[in-house]
Structure 1
Amino acid sequence: MGEYEGRVEGHRDGHGFVVPDNGDAAIYLAPQEMRSVLHKDRVRVRVLRYDRKGRPEGRVLDIIERRKTPIIGRLLHEGGQWLVAPEDSRYGQDILIPKNATAQAAVGQVVSVELTEPPSLHSQPVGRVAEVLGEIDDSGMEIEIAVRKYEVPHLFSPETLAQAAALPEKLRAVDRKQRVDLTDVALVTIDGEDARDFDDAVYAEPYKRGRGKTAFEGWRLLVAIADVSHYVKPGEPLDEDAYERATSVYFPRRVIPMLPEKLSNGLCSLNPQVERLSMVCDMLVDTQGRIEAYQFYPAVICSHARLTYTEVTAVLANTRGPEAHARADLVPHLLHLHEVYRALLKQRALRGAVDFETTETQIVCDEAGRIEKIVPRTRNEAHRLIEEAMLAANVCAAEFIAQAEHPSLYRVHEGPTPEKRVALQAMLRSLGVSASLSDDPTPGEIQAIAQAVQGRPDATQIHTLLLRSMQQAIYTVHNSGHFGLAYPAYTHFTSPIRRYPDLLVHRVIKATLAGKRYHLAASAKTRKPELRKGGKLGRPAKPMTQEMELWEAAGGHCSANERRADEASKDVEAWLKCRYMREHLGEEYSGTVSSVASFGLFITLDGLYVEGLVHITELGGEYYRYDEARGELRGERTGIRYAVGARVRVQVSRVDLDGRKIDFRMVREGEAERLLARGERARPAGLPAGASAEEALAAVREADRQHKRAAKVAKSSRPGKSTPLAASAGPGARPGKLERTLPVALAGSAEAPRRSRKPGPQRPAPKPRSRR
């Protein structure tokens, strides 16, 4: 059957998986096998058998490496024993704590535990309390838990802090050498109201070359990015810590930066009216949005203003309004930026780039850290303007590096796999979307579907399905293009303050401009290339050189840490939402089915943007079958279907703060009939399209009567025998196993320019580059 080495991934239901190092399919470990190992241990396993779906099941042969990092949990005292229940349920076992190793922590407090004895088949793990974090309800505790739970580095080394403290407070004469002086150019930063670091500034002016009607007309677009590489040098403590973090992590009310504050909010932040070092991407954009020429060069800039998205949108909407009056000197430049943006949008449409309208939320907290409200993040014209300017600079950076044939990290995004394409088509068909996908879908096809469903009530859910069908973007040395943006080459250049790949791209560009090559040095923290989930690395068949392997390892490390940051941020958001909904137990809300699983429906509440589970046992007194191809639950007796986009009315029944789960139950006892009449409940299948709510309600009642008569006849004809009821499987059941549930309602589920002037010698005009 074969032996494999890999890392253990625990499951909250007690079983687990081993993810092999070679990228093969994950190997299932039964609960008994998980007794001797813990989540994130490295093990060697032997495959014993395959289930009916061809999934491997294994046995642990050897434990290669035990997890060394502390485990976070709550201290409990039960049955005369001290123990810690891990906050991360994937560990599956409580940790015993000797009474002299509690560090005087109180019952219920959140603690960090170091293991002193690993688990075995016959004994639980033993540990000691290494750190007492505090009470679970302390302000900011959810963030303290998340940074430790996901092993996010949150403390800079003393060497890094000392190096940052030794940096100058302002620019020196030596810093200005061999740089273009752009301090009189009206570059501005445009960010959110709560932004603290400003790593990009923009400027545009009309550009005309030649004479007469055939002269080239367009715009000159400058994107200036903070020159972090001037201060963060390879091999120094600052660089080592930045590489280990790989990205800044954003939580509500708190940011864990990639760089110390002196850099992220000081020397490398393009604050207004302060001279800063930058790398500039200087582009010529024609009226059709094509980038005809570009060049990169180091510069000294001075941001003329710190603008917000809201402010710029107001200026663009009304050039005579109060916002425009307050920024009268900048209005012409903002209008030029808007003109460039409109031109770049033309090219976006021609490329067929995908543009989804999904709802992102922002949690607004009070001073105590409690949620005041959850509001949607709206993308306005200023957001899109900056986005297009950054995309243009990133594309130029990727093309510049590709033409130089220099190793670097590309931002690669691939389209749907064949399996996901087939599943997506089935889902779209079940939702009445007739558009079809080719065997090798293009971004244009995906975008055409996204546009076709605009205006439908379930458009947001369909856009989410389209987004989930595509693969996750990664950093890699192999350029495979960016599917979603429809670019043949794409990289990240515009955020070196908060993303390490951008810093590497800056180093490569500066080395290329100097006629040199940047060699990535091996690091003790460099990891093996990160494999894509369930697949192989998208690399050529020929073996890589040692240097290319280093670049690929750096890409894998940055990709993995990006996912880690996302998971930590989502975990904190989920905790805050659970805490918020705990105060609304028993309240009723309208919502929309956002996804369907074999064990129930996930519902997103209107206005609150909170998602929870309606377990299948809460759907009423009948059997429901899960149709995986159509992505829906269907009642066998009434034919009622629940699919993505269905409108429902639910009540908050249970909140599991530790599990980050919210359970709903359907509103019944007369309320459901009222909602059906109002068209807010799923209608029975088989009714004509124009059937009224009264006809639908009558159909449901008639089906109920027929079912009761049939049950009565069956009971009378078979005295002494009762119909066996299928056991209810909880949300943790493996997909596809649950087809029937108890026909009873339970109380809750188990889961849950400057002015325009000709460029002088100090402001070189971009040299045309071939766009082959």
Structure 2
Amino acid sequence: MTENETDTADPSHDPFLGREKEKYESPVPSREYITQQLEAQARPLSRKDLAALFSLSDEDALEGLRRRLKAMERDGQLVRNRRNGYVVVDNEELVRGRIRSSPDGSGVVHPDRPGPNVYLAPREMHRLLNRDRVVVRLTGDDEDGRPTGELVEIIEHANQEIAGRYHEESGIGFVIPNNKRLHQDLIIPAADVNGARHGELVTAEVVNQPSQRRQPIGRIIEVFGTRIAPGDEVAVAARTHGIPVEWPEEVLEEAARFGDEVPESVKQGRKDLRKTPLITIDGADARDFDDAVYCEPTASGWKLIVAIADVAAYVTPGSALDNEAAERGNSCYFPRNVVPMLPENLSNGLCSLNPGVDRLCMVCEMQIDREGKLKRSQFYEGLMKSAARLTYEDVDAIHNERDPSLLREHEHLLKHIEDLYAVFDALRIDRQKRGAIDFNTNESVIEFDNAGQVADVHPAERTNAHRLIEECMVKANVATARFLRRHRIPALYRVHEPPAEQRLKNLREFLAQTGLTLGGGDEPTTKDFAALMEAVKQRPDQHFIESIMLRSMMAAEYRPDNAGHFGLALDAYAHFTSPIRRYPDLIVHRAIKHVISKQPIEAFEYTEDQLVTVGEHCSMTDRRAEEASRDALMTLKCRFMANRLGEEFNGVISGVTSFGLFVELDGLYVDGLIHITNLEQDFFHFDAIGHRLVGERTGKEYRLTDRIRVRLAQVNVDDGKIDFDPIAHPLGPDGEVLPQSESRGPTSRNGDKDKGKRKGQSRSRNGESRSRRRRR
């Protein structure tokens, strides 16, 4: 075959031809088959070449091919070269992924498929903003061994609105984004200022995305004023991180058509569980009830039923509801507010497993043995009526405190609650045998007064009632992953990779400073991490050692390729239990329904490449929601602390940087900065590996996990920043001031005094680097 000749490919050999015939009257080759044939040809092919390859000649087929190729370009599966030849992305040279930019103007591409991040120099970032989706070409490695790339194609601009402060200088208006990862200011023409004044918080619509020679241009669409007013912290945080808040009209209209009650017609053909006393157990402020549980003992262990809201019965692929849910990816929870994935009449109403009303559900019924292992499971569509809506506090008071009023109120459920605790004890034993990691993440609870002001901040309490539900959900998710693998249907798994080599190295170097070690050599298992956590349980710095361990972990992701879940010590894991608030769970439900309805696997709605894209998007929205929630929480904490200026607090050094120390206050989980200018008059070496600042003259050391007393010096509510002055350091566990020798100098790893800067150190005095002033 010569260079310009093309073989023919038989369309009947397309493994997904059946799916295409169901969807289209004039089916064209599937995306998978097009990709497969392009790879087989091993060279770029034009649309004309591809039409010849697939023997397509009639007008409808050629138009279908044109639309399919255009869609594959739009989704980043294919790119066209200068001769209009199509090339498959995600090969040895081209990488598709999402940008994560840095304040210095550089960025990294997180690939959609497993692989190393690709570094982009600032010159490659001129046309890009944080979270944009791109195709890049690999160009080699930089001096640090990182893969580098150059921009080939922008698949999607992710930032349509930007929140920030409006400024005017020399007659030019611009918005400085609140999100520090947006490294370019937004230019605002005079005609589009819309009444905003210098220094005000605004939201601006991006009219023109950045180009190689020009910053992005926008127009102001919302003005918050100079300060974040009480109640606006959620709106500001959501807009800062690009979380959709408003509902499109067609979405609300579609949701309203379902009404408030389950029609009799859709109840048919489902297993009737309305007489089974399934109960929901959630937080006191929960409004959307995804899951209900029931347990009864058997001869060999327990039958455990986990019933999940059947969202897929209402939200169908391609509908306005589905498109909006996919875009949002998940619900975002804030103190006293939630930005839901679905409209409230579904999320809090028809889909929610509210007590005493008929609800459609998807059921995972499991047989658990006495060691807590999953022996068998089955999935089916059910119809249920929740027997009770209980809170974690209720269940804890019934089981542990034997609260008389609750015992009387729920007398008919007491046996079932005891059975749930019995299976929980077995599930917990299985968890411990696997060596699953159980980080004690410290979360804050915000209490509000009647006027809506922050009245108190205190740690959230995590009881065995929380753990009971967690373990039941984990087991249902394990059963789900087994089901998906057994039937070989494409779906999304929740993947948690083992820690990367460099992260392990950094963790071990930190642990060496604390006299601790992590076992397992180059490939530690979850049991090695669990053993380390057991070793630090009685230490006063347990929380911070665990936080460093947590930072060494990779982020969990949604992917169609199952690579197991390291943290839970599982070889397969999928999210099934929260389809009201997580879009990946909805896709998993659709996969299960496809199998139990006995349809051919090849006819499933989603292709593997579509799932790659959806999984990456949902992983991003998951991180986005977490960042937005953290921002709103910090604004509320700052508002609470603003009334306590001058007060003294004990805390722990939670972060060490070249410009100062971050301190977390005891019991409040509020973080603030001691700037290096407020430390002793000395030159300070920043030891990045040892997480410490060391005074050159005095030998004074400030180390991660040291206890310290501070005075609240300044609070900036709008920027979410708190500044402390140091009062006493170091402190003992009871707050007593401990002596620290000032005679020792900073020592090297072999115990000799350093005569120059060690690698990983910087030198500062009064907050000024010898080369330049550092900013927060």
State the TM-score, normalized to the length of structure 1. 0.78
Q: Partner residue of 1:604?
A: 664
- Would the alpha carbon gap of residues 15 and 370 (structure 1) be closer, same or farther in structure 2, given more than 3 Å must change? farther
Write out per-residue CA displacement over residues 590-641 of structure 1, whole angstroms, 9 at most, x where no aligned residue. 1101232333322111122111222333331222223333332223333333
Mapped pair 1:642 → 2:725: no
- Would the alpha carbon gap of residues 742 and 47 (structure 1) be closer, same or farther in structure 2, given more than 3 Å must change? farther
Query: Residues 663 and 751 of structure 1 are in contact (CA less than 8 Å); yes or no, is this contact kept in structure 2?
Result: no
2:421, 2:201 → 1: CA distance? 51
Q: Which runs of 5+ in 2 are unaligned?
A: 1-92, 746-755
- Would the alpha carbon gap of residues 393 and 621 (structure 1) be closer, same or farther in structure 2, given more than 3 Å must change? same
Query: Residues 591 and 603 of structure 1 are in contact (CA less than 8 Å); yes or no, is this contact kept in structure 2?
Result: yes
Q: Partner residue of 2:430?
A: 347
Mapped pair 1:269 → 2:352: yes
Mapped pair 1:283 → 2:373: no
Q: Partner residue of 1:186?
A: 277
Tell me which of 609, 622, 626 is aligned to 1:562: 622
Q: Greater shift after overlay, 186-195 or 231-240?
A: 231-240
Once the two structures are TM-superposed, the CA of residue 305 in structure 1 deviates from its matched residue by 0.7
Tell me which of 219, 226, 233 is aligned to 1:142: 233
2:533, 2:316 → 1: CA distance? 44
2:96, 2:486 → 1: CA distance? 40
The correspondence of residues 406-485 of structure 1 with structure 2, limited to 5 A, is 406-485=489-568
Q: Partner residue of 1:758?
A: none
Question: Amino acid of the residue matched to residue 149 of structure 1?
Answer: T
2:539, 2:596 → 1: CA distance? 51
Q: Partner residue of 1:17?
A: 107
- Would the alpha carbon gap of residues 367 and 415 (structure 1) be closer, same or farther in structure 2, given more than 3 Å must change? farther
1:142, 1:476 → 2: CA distance? 33
Question: Amino acid of the residue matched to residue 470 of structure 1?
Answer: M
Q: Partner residue of 2:632?
A: 572
Mapped pair 1:495 → 2:555: no
Q: Partner residue of 1:162?
A: 253
Write out per-residue CA displacement over residues 16-74 of structure 1, whole angstroms, 9 at most, x where no aligned residue. 335376865554646x9878865566789999998764568999999998776132223
Q: Partner residue of 1:360?
A: 443
- Would the alpha carbon gap of residues 297 and 651 (structure 1) be closer, same or farther in structure 2, given more than 3 Å must change? same
- Would the alpha carbon gap of residues 8 and 367 (structure 1) be closer, same or farther in structure 2, given more than 3 Å must change? farther
Question: Amino acid of the residue matched to residue 260 of structure 1?
Answer: P
Once the two structures are TM-superposed, the CA of residue 364 in structure 1 deviates from its matched residue by 2.5
Q: Partner residue of 1:152?
A: 243
- Greater relative contact order: 1 or 2 (C-alpha under 8 angstroms, separation 6 or more)? 1
Once the two structures are TM-superposed, the CA of residue 652 in structure 1 deviates from its matched residue by 2.7
1:261, 1:276 → 2: CA distance? 16
2:135, 2:418 → 1: CA distance? 62
Write out per-residue CA displacement over residues 430-471 of structure 1, whole angstroms, 9 at most, x where no aligned residue. 111144332211111110110111111011111112222111
Which SS does the other structure have where 2:697 is aligned?
A: coil
Which SS does the other structure have where 2:624 is aligned?
A: helix
1:440, 1:384 → 2: CA distance? 29
Which SS does the other structure have where 1:741 is aligned?
A: strand
Q: Partner residue of 1:537?
A: none
- Would the alpha carbon gap of residues 584 and 247 (structure 1) be closer, same or farther in structure 2, given more than 3 Å must change? same
Which SS does the other structure have where 1:437 is aligned?
A: coil
Question: Amino acid of the residue matched to residue 344 of structure 1?
Answer: L
Which SS does the other structure have where 1:379 is aligned?
A: coil
1:677, 1:484 → 2: CA distance? 30
Once the two structures are TM-superposed, the CA of residue 226 in structure 1 deviates from its matched residue by 1.0
Once the two structures are TM-superposed, the CA of residue 124 in structure 1 deviates from its matched residue by 6.3
- Would the alpha carbon gap of residues 651 and 57 (structure 1) be closer, same or farther in structure 2, given more than 3 Å must change? farther
The correspondence of residues 360-759 of structure 1 with structure 2, limited to 5 A, is 360-366=443-449, 369-517=452-600, 519=603, 521=605, 547-667=607-727, 680=736, 693=738, 696=739, 699-700=741-742, 739-742=762-765, 752=776
Write out per-residue CA displacement over residues 501-534 of structure 1, whole angstroms, 9 at most, x where no aligned residue. 1111111112211212465546xxxxxxxxxxxx
Once the two structures are TM-superposed, the CA of residue 341 in structure 1 deviates from its matched residue by 0.5
Q: Partner residue of 2:10?
A: none
Write out per-residue CA displacement over residues 227-257 of structure 1, whole angstroms, 9 at most, x where no aligned residue. 1111111122221111111111111121111
Question: Amino acid of the residue matched to residue 338 of structure 2?
Answer: V
| Paired residue total | 668
2:733, 2:421 → 1: CA distance? 48
Mapped pair 1:85 → 2:176: yes
Query: Residues 661 and 751 of structure 1 are in contact (CA less than 8 Å); yes or no, is this contact kept in structure 2?
Result: no
- Would the alpha carbon gap of residues 41 and 206 (structure 1) be closer, same or farther in structure 2, given more than 3 Å must change? closer
Question: Amino acid of the residue matched to residue 421 of structure 1?
Answer: L
Q: Partner residue of 1:525?
A: none
- Would the alpha carbon gap of residues 255 and 62 (structure 1) be closer, same or farther in structure 2, given more than 3 Å must change? closer
Q: Greater shift after overlay, 736-745 or 484-493?
A: 736-745
The correspondence of residues 210-229 of structure 1 with structure 2, limited to 5 A, is 216=300, 218-229=301-312
Q: Greater shift after overlay, 60-69 or 292-301?
A: 60-69
2:186, 2:374 → 1: CA distance? 60
Question: Amino acid of the residue matched to residue 470 of structure 2?
Answer: E
2:547, 2:273 → 1: CA distance? 43
Q: Partner residue of 1:716?
A: none
- Would the alpha carbon gap of residues 274 and 57 (structure 1) be closer, same or farther in structure 2, given more than 3 Å must change? closer
2:262, 2:212 → 1: CA distance? 62
Q: Partner residue of 1:292?
A: 375
Query: Residues 6 and 20 of structure 1 are in contact (CA less than 8 Å); yes or no, is this contact kept in structure 2?
Result: yes
1:96, 1:360 → 2: CA distance? 38
Q: Greater shift after overlay, 426-435 or 226-235?
A: 426-435
State the TM-score, normalized to the length of structure 2. 0.78
Question: Amino acid of the residue matched to residue 19 of structure 1?
Answer: V
1:205, 1:490 → 2: CA distance? 25
1:324, 1:289 → 2: CA distance? 28
- Would the alpha carbon gap of residues 276 and 654 (structure 1) be closer, same or farther in structure 2, given more than 3 Å must change? same
The correspondence of residues 8-157 of structure 1 with structure 2, limited to 5 A, is 9-12=100-103, 14-17=104-107, 19=109, 25-27=117-119, 29=121, 39=130, 53=144, 69-78=160-169, 82-92=173-183, 94-115=185-206, 126-133=217-224, 136-157=227-248
- Would the alpha carbon gap of residues 54 and 637 (structure 1) be closer, same or farther in structure 2, given more than 3 Å must change? farther
Which SS does the other structure have where 1:399 is aligned?
A: helix
- Would the alpha carbon gap of residues 480 and 464 (structure 1) be closer, same or farther in structure 2, given more than 3 Å must change? same
1:64, 1:234 → 2: CA distance? 22
Question: Amino acid of the residue matched to residue 380 of structure 1?
Answer: T
- Would the alpha carbon gap of residues 241 and 437 (structure 1) be closer, same or farther in structure 2, given more than 3 Å must change? same
Question: Amino acid of the residue matched to residue 376 of structure 1?
Answer: P
Q: Which runs of 5+ in 1 are unaligned?
A: 209-215, 523-546, 682-692, 705-724, 727-734, 753-772
Query: Residues 194 and 220 of structure 2 are in contact (CA less than 8 Å); yes or no, is this contact kept in structure 1?
Result: yes
Query: Residues 594 and 604 of structure 2 are in contact (CA less than 8 Å); yes or no, is this contact kept in structure 1?
Result: no
- Would the alpha carbon gap of residues 237 and 99 (structure 1) be closer, same or farther in structure 2, given more than 3 Å must change? closer
1:6, 1:481 → 2: CA distance? 22
2:326, 2:637 → 1: CA distance? 32
Task: Percent identity, please.
Answer: 42
Query: Residues 594 and 604 of structure 1 are in contact (CA less than 8 Å); yes or no, is this contact kept in structure 2?
Result: yes
Question: Amino acid of the residue matched to residue 623 of structure 2?
Answer: R
- Would the alpha carbon gap of residues 311 and 81 (structure 1) be closer, same or farther in structure 2, given more than 3 Å must change? same
